[in-house]
């Protein structure tokens, strides 16, 4: 933090106070009954509408700014004060521009006090990828393969973009992937290059508290340590080996596994044909009937095996762009091979939006 302090103070939206928070409503009271309370931050009033999420050190609340239902934000209240996440958001602002930026969350400002910090971010109202996975689990069925492929393409593209600008998320999981929906109706055109309405459709990666800015370290840096998040500890963490980009790659694999199987990924260390060993998910791919297209087709097992084999065993420690692009193209080629797939995908996304909004 000492290294970034001179920089972070210059960022737009950075507000520092040496005193504790002294609003009329104590922040501690929000944990038990937050709805309809009004707190004041930096001269603005925030009408709390409910808790949007919480962890060990922070709570996130949905709020109306000055009681305006058209101006909705997310307030992340954290104790002790934690400016690093705001720094990560400003790094995203500088490094990722244009249409890609909306895939990584937006922070408006941060208010730092002696006893806490309040990060004010844009609010997305459509839930998380975890919510979508849970809905399928409740129904007792896996997500349709074409929808799994779509979200896998999205995540591969997001991680590629992120790593290419020298950033690591460090906590890649479905709870941190918000759903984005296009304003206009999706069409068959624009899917491959993410243009038109497809640009606004997809995912948004948030919660950057464990993010890493590689520019702050030597070029050959690798990391040791354990994220401590059950189910998302990469192989290197499990075996006490150094890691770098693998932390995001493994998280991506777990998310894909959850979409396919409705459960966390467990890995097995198996002997390979060359006398070595390789890691693969313990849960095998079932050749079950694929109901996502209007024919008696089966899941493309070879496609998923290739994905997990390369992500878990051939992931490069430094430049991972080529591998991510190769895997992304394999899914794009498959989904583009049958026009019915994109038509089905559009229908499933529309159905998902309706069902999640009604939930």
According to the model, what pLDDT value does residue 296 have? 41
Nearest to 170 by CA among 225, 215, 122: 225
User: In 3D, which of 173, 175, 145, 169 has the Cα closest to residue 297?
Assistant: 145
C-beta separation of 349 from 191 below 8 A: no
8 A C-beta contact, residue 141 and residue 289: no
Element (H, E) at 202: strand 202-205
Domain co-membership, 217 together with 340: yes
Q: Do both 316 and 353 map to the same domain? A: yes
User: 325 and 285 share a domain?
Assistant: yes
Q: CATH no. for residue 71?
A: 1.10.510.10
Task: Give the number of other CB atoms < 10 A from CB of residue 41.
Answer: 20
- Single residue among 92, 122, 152 that ends a domain in this structure: 122
Peptide bond into 80 cis (omega under 30): yes
Q: 244-254, pLDDT tens digit by residue? A: 999 999 999 99
Q: Rounded to whole angstroms, what are the CA distances from 7 to 81, 259, 280?
A: 17, 40, 43
Do 136 and 235 reside in the same domain of the chain? yes
Closest by CA to 95, choosing from 250, 221, 214, 246, is 214
Same domain (yes/no): 79, 134: no
Within this chain, do residues 156 and 275 fall inside the same structural domain, yes or no? yes
Same domain, 176 and 84: no
The count of other CB atoms within 10 Å of the CB of residue 150 is: 25
Same structural domain, 149 and 297: yes
Residue 261 burial (10 A CB sphere; 0-12, 13-18, 19+): middle
Question: Do 175 and 96 fall within a single domain?
Answer: no
Domain identity same for 157 and 46:
no
**Catalytic annotation, residues:** 171
- Distance between CA atoms of residues 343 and 345, nearest Å: 5
pLDDT of residue 28: 74
Per-residue pLDDT tens digits for 269-282:
988 888 889 999 99
Phi, psi of 49 (to 5 degrees): -105, -5
The domain boundary, picked from 98, 122, 146, lies at 122
Counting as low any pLDDT under 70, the low residues of the chain are: 2, 32-33, 286-297, 358-359
Give the predicted TM-score (pTM) of the model: 0.93
Q: Whole domain around residue 304: which residue ranges? A: 129-358
- Listed residue (310, 186, 297, 290) closest to 246, CA to CA: 310
Question: Is there a single domain that holds both residue 294 and residue 224?
Answer: yes
Same domain, 68 and 158: no
Q: Where is the domain boundary, 122, 152, 167? A: 122
Tokens, residue 301: 């097992």
Residues 246/253, Cβ–Cβ less than 8 Å: no
Round to whole Å and give the CA distance between 274 and 285. 23
| pLDDT score, position 294 | 42
- The Cα 94–Cα 89 span in angstroms is 9
Cα separation, 357 vs 335, whole angstroms = 27
Count of structural domains within the chain: 2
């Amino acid at each position: 933090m000492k290294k970034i302090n001179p920089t972070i103070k210059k960022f737009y939206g950075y507000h520092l106070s040496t005193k504790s928070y002294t609003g009329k409503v104590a922040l501690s009271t929000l944990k038990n009954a937050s709805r309809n309370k009004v707190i004041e931050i930096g001269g603005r009033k925030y009408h709390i509408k409910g808790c949007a999420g919480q962890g060990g050190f922070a709570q996130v609340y949905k709020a109306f700014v000055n009681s305006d239902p058209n101006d909705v934000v997310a307030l992340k209240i954290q104790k002790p004060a934690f400016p690093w996440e705001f720094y990560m958001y400003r790094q995203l602002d500088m490094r990722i521009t244009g249409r890609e930026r909306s895939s990584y969350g937006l922070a408006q400002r941060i208010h730092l006090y002696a006893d806490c910090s309040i990060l004010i971010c844009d609010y997305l109202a459509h839930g998380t990828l975890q919510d979508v996975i849970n809905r399928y689990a409740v129904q007792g069925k896996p997500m349709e393969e074409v929808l799994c492929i779509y979200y896998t393409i999205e995540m591969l593209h997001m991680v590629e973009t992120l790593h290419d600008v020298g950033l690591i998320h460090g906590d890649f999981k479905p709870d941190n992937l918000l759903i984005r929906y296009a304003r206009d109706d999706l069409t068959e055109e624009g899917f491959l290059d993410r243009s038109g309405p497809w640009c606004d459709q997809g995912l948004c990666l948030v919660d950057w508290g464990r993010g890493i800015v590689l520019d702050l370290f030597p070029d050959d840096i690798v990391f040791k340590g354990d994220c401590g998040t059950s189910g998302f500890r990469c192989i290197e963490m499990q075996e006490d080996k150094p890691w770098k980009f693998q932390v995001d790659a493994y998280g991506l694999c777990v998310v894909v596994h959850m979409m396919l199987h409705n459960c966390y990924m467990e890995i097995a260390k198996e002997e390979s044909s060359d006398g070595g060993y390789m890691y693969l998910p313990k849960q095998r791919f079932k050749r079950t009937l694929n109901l996502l297209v209007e024919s008696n087709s089966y899941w493309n097992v070879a496609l998923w095996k290739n994905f997990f084999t390369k992500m878990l065993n051939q992931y490069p420690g430094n430049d991972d762009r080529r591998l991510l692009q190769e895997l992304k193209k394999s899914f794009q080629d498959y989904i583009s091979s049958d026009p019915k797939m994109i038509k089905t995908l559009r229908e499933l996304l529309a159905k998902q939006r309706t069902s999640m909004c009604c939930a």
